């Protein structure tokens, strides 16, 4: 079998193609080597850098406890303490994501008597030990900002004001209030400037919203703040008495009002039935005398018929949906000799 010889032109192209592949490979290899040594250099640089000493700042939250209600602070107090610190980079880098425990100023530890209108707190002497406990032993504290905290105060006026509950209540079927809503305490002491106190007559609770209530509800609720004032206590307990209501009825005499002394008016019937819903707690105590069903004599003499509509003029406040079973009666006027 005879093999065909490859043309010289094709042979040149093939050699050129292979040479280009070799050059690409060598170029990639050089790139990998370059990147490897670049990364190693960066790592060594980082290690060397982190072993050097640097200065930085960390922010530590600051909270306040037991602020007296009867004083007003004259300026906004800082919410953070900034500590200027010094250490190796390996230690400082850990502080960038660290959550520091808050430092505390307890007003109960300071004298707020009438003769002492300004309290001065040295940040270093007050918090240095607590801050160091949250840092590495190698970390040095260079300074604090602010270095001193000034608490200026002035006395406030006081006023005792009633609490008004705000409610949006819906009841389950045949459940109704079993009495008045009660608030404990029913009044609170409000602290503020005399100008502010003079404009406030009561303080409201936050809105109490409950649906389908079917039992007495007792809840603790916060008071709504008035600007530039403080209330003590800040919360109250609200009780909404609730009970199941059942249907009742009473036969109530019809009373004619405004009858002259020499007249007497008879109605037929002389009594009408009143139906209502009442809670179990008072159901048995309800009597006919708790209701008043009336007609007016002047309406009778001006009427063209002997039939008159009656009116349920009075009923107990603790019954709901009172209704006259008969809303009209016949009448006759008799003269008395």
Extract the tokens encoding 26: 């060598």
Strands 271-279 and 319-324: antiparallel
Omega of the bond leading into 150 within 30 degrees of 0 (cis): no
Per-domain residue ranges of the chain: 53-155, 157-240, 246-335
**CATH fold of the domain at 157-240:** RNA Polymerase Alpha Subunit; Chain A, domain 2 (2.170.120)
Q: Smallest Cα–Cα separation from 293: which of 250, 261, 335, 333?
A: 250
CATH for 53-155 (3.50.50.60, 2.170.120.30, 1.10.1060.10, 2.160.10.10)? 2.170.120.30
Q: Smallest Cα–Cα separation from 293: which of 324, 249, 262?
A: 324
Distance CA 228, CA 1 (A): 111
Give burial (CB, 10 Å; 0-12/13-18/19+) of 139. buried
Task: Note the pLDDT of residue 120.
Answer: 87
Q: Smallest Cα–Cα separation from 333: which of 288, 289, 303, 290?
A: 303
Cβ contacts of 170 within 8 Å, gap of 6 or more: 210, 211, 212, 213
User: Listing from the earlier edge strand, what are the strands of the sheet with 71-73?
Assistant: 71-73, 148-155, 118-122
Contact 239, 217 (CB under 8 A): yes
Cβ contacts of 259 within 8 Å, gap of 6 or more: 265, 297
157-240 and 246-335, same CATH topology: yes
Distance CA 231, CA 189 (A): 6
Q: For every one of its 337 residues, what pLDDT tens digit does the chain have, with 9 covering 90 and above?
A: 444 555 555 555 565 555 565 555 555 555 666 566 566 666 555 555 556 787 889 999 999 888 877 777 767 889 999 999 988 877 777 888 888 999 999 988 887 665 667 888 899 999 999 999 999 888 999 999 999 998 887 778 899 999 999 999 999 999 999 889 999 999 999 998 888 899 999 999 999 999 999 999 999 999 998 887 889 999 999 999 999 999 999 999 999 999 998 889 999 999 999 999 999 889 999 999 999 999 999 999 898 899 999 999 999 999 999 999 999 999 998 888 6
Cβ contacts of 5 within 8 Å, gap of 6 or more: none
Helices and strands in the chain: count of H runs, count of E runs: 6, 25
Q: Sort residue 200 into left (φ over 0), alpha (ψ -120 to 50) or beta.
A: beta
Q: Sort residue 289 into left (φ over 0), alpha (ψ -120 to 50) or beta.
A: alpha
Q: Write down the pTM of the prediction.
A: 0.59
Task: Note the pLDDT of residue 42.
Answer: 62
Classify 14 as helix, strand or coil.
helix
Extract the tokens encoding 184: 């404990």
Task: Note the pLDDT of residue 46.
Answer: 55
Contact 81, 57 (CB under 8 A): no
Q: Smallest Cα–Cα separation from 287: which of 276, 298, 299?
A: 276
Distance CA 290, CA 26 (A): 110
CATH for 246-335 (1.10.10.10, 2.170.120.30, 1.20.1740.10, 3.30.70.1070)? 2.170.120.30
Cβ contacts of 279 within 8 Å, gap of 6 or more: 176, 178, 243, 244, 245, 318
Task: Note the pLDDT of residue 151.
Answer: 84
* H-assigned helices in 212-290: 280-283
Q: Smallest Cα–Cα separation from 262: which of 333, 170, 158, 162?
A: 333
């Amino acid at each position: 079998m005879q093999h065909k010889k490859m043309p010289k032109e094709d042979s040149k192209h093939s050699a050129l193609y292979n040479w280009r592949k070799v050059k690409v490979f060598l170029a990639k290899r050089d790139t990998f080597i370059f990147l490897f040594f670049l990364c190693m250099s960066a790592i060594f640089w980082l290690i060397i850098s982190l072993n050097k000493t640097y200065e930085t700042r960390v922010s530590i939250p600051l909270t306040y406890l037991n602020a007296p209600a009867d004083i007003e602070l004259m300026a906004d107090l800082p919410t953070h303490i900034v500590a200027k610190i010094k250490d190796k980079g390996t230690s400082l880098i850990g502080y960038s994501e660290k959550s520091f425990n808050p430092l505390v100023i307890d007003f109960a530890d300071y004298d707020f008597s009438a003769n002492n209108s300004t309290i001065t707190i040295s940040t270093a002497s007050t918090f240095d030990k607590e801050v160091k406990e949250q840092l590495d032993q190698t970390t040095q504290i260079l300074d604090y900002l602010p270095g001193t905290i000034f608490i200026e105060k002035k006395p406030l006026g006081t006023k005792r004001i009633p609490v008004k509950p705000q409610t949006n209540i819906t009841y389950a079927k045949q459940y109704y209030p079993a009495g008045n809503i009660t608030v404990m305490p029913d009044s609170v002491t409000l602290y503020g400037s005399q100008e502010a106190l003079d404009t406030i007559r009561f303080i409201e609770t936050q809105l109490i919203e409950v649906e389908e209530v079917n039992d007495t509800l007792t809840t603790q609720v916060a008071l709504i703040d008035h600007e530039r004032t403080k209330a003590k206590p800040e919360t109250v307990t609200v009780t909404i008495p609730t009970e199941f209501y059942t249907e009742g009825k009473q036969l109530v005499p019809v009373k004619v009002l405004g009858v002259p002394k020499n007249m007497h008016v008879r109605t037929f019937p002389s009594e009408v039935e009143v139906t209502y819903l009442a809670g179990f707690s008072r159901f048995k105590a309800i009597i006919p005398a708790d209701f008043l069903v009336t007609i007016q004599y002047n309406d009778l003499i001006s009427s063209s018929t002997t039939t008159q509509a009656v009116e349920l003029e009075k009923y107990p406040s603790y019954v709901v949906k009172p209704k006259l079973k008969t809303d009209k009666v016949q009448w006759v006027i008799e003269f008395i000799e």
